[in-house]
Structure 1
């Protein structure tokens, strides 16, 4: 798995950049309508799931299972958000919370496998824990106004994106240290 990540370190950085852009949009426009927010989330989840799918299918070893599940669920959650954008804030918050928890669990699982190849790898664990914590917070306060949900989503996406970018840079540096990439 590490060899794949080293060769495709830019995918982590791209996923992080997309998450940050999504987060900034949610923070800058907190009064955004539910339909627009659902559509933005739907596209984000689809793209993130597709990228996780690319990573899973290009990983040559048996450690791609968590990435496959993350990809499938990301795409499914994205499709649900795009097909039914009229959900209430409560329904949208629950979908996003579930997506974050599921994604976080599989990111932690992938990190555990990655630790076998890369000592002291904690950034992927942090991204998974952030996802799980965000999902749980959303479950416990689903009735808050759309602006608060948008702000929470935005802050989460910005933090998650920053962690993925840091991980991508760390993996790239590791690849250079090992002589895998120039």
Structure 2
């Protein structure tokens, strides 16, 4: 989520072992993932993955616990995938971002592994993921002093921490109550992440960088 100076350009064919190796450099998966993770559109996609399930939960409060577990599980898996790609766009320490990505994927797998689990278990998984990811993101924002839009990122992290605490401290007694609670926080987090994506787009435009040319920036 944080932005910093991107990696230096790779060496050309003359700096390699021969022309046969140049195609491999041009399609390096790490470079491709880094370019994708630096895009503000990618950040907006991650925000959408959070916002859409929240809206569905609010407009469909009578969903069964089974469907809610699947909905939350898919949200966690997709968010983990988005965050994993975003890690490649960083020049700074990638470990915190990787931990958060793995945490989201693990939470998604646990939700989908047993969709008929109890309300308390679903609340525990979601709340723990939000709380830990919020703490890690807040730490990263505080430690990275040159992070663009640092205040917004810290605000999103704080919102995630509060969401995790609320879900863990106020367990819902019914699937309907849990659906409304999770839906509300998903919408709030999705809107906050949308603000981060739009702020990053604004920063790219001020720097004269288009959406297709973000090779000088990192997420």
User: Same fold by TM (over 0.5)?
Assistant: yes
Dislocated runs of 4+, deviation >3 Å: 3-7
**Partner of residue 62, structure 2:** 31
Is the 2:79–2:101 contact (alpha carbons within 8 Å) kept by the matching residues of 1?
yes
**Partner of residue 42, structure 1:** 73
The two structures, once aligned, show a CA RMSD in angstroms of: 1.9
Alpha-carbon distance, 1:3 to partner: 4.4
**Partner of residue 124, structure 1:** 153
Alpha-carbon distance, 1:113 to partner: 4.3
Secondary structure class of the residue paired with 1:122? helix
Q: TM-score, normalised by structure 1?
A: 0.90
1:137 and 2:166 correspond: yes
Higher-Rg member (1/2): 2
Q: TM-score, normalised by structure 2?
A: 0.76
1:108 and 2:110 correspond: no
**Partner of residue 19, structure 2:** none
Is the 2:4–2:146 contact (alpha carbons within 8 Å) kept by the matching residues of 1?
no
Q: Deviations over 1:10-63 (max 9, x none)?
A: 11111111211110111111111111111111110000001100011232x133
Aligned positions, number: 180
Matches within 5 A, 1:42-121: 42-59=73-90, 61-118=91-148, 121=150
Name stretches of at least 5 consecutive residues in structure 2 with no aligned partner: 7-34, 212-219
Distance 2:143 2:69 in 1: 33
Task: Go from structure 1 to structure 2 and tell me whether the alpha carbon gap of 1:114 and 1:160 turns closer, same or farther (over 3 Å shift).
Answer: farther
Decide which of 208, 212, 219 is 1:179's aligned counterpart: 208
Is the 1:7–1:181 contact (alpha carbons within 8 Å) kept by the matching residues of 2?
no
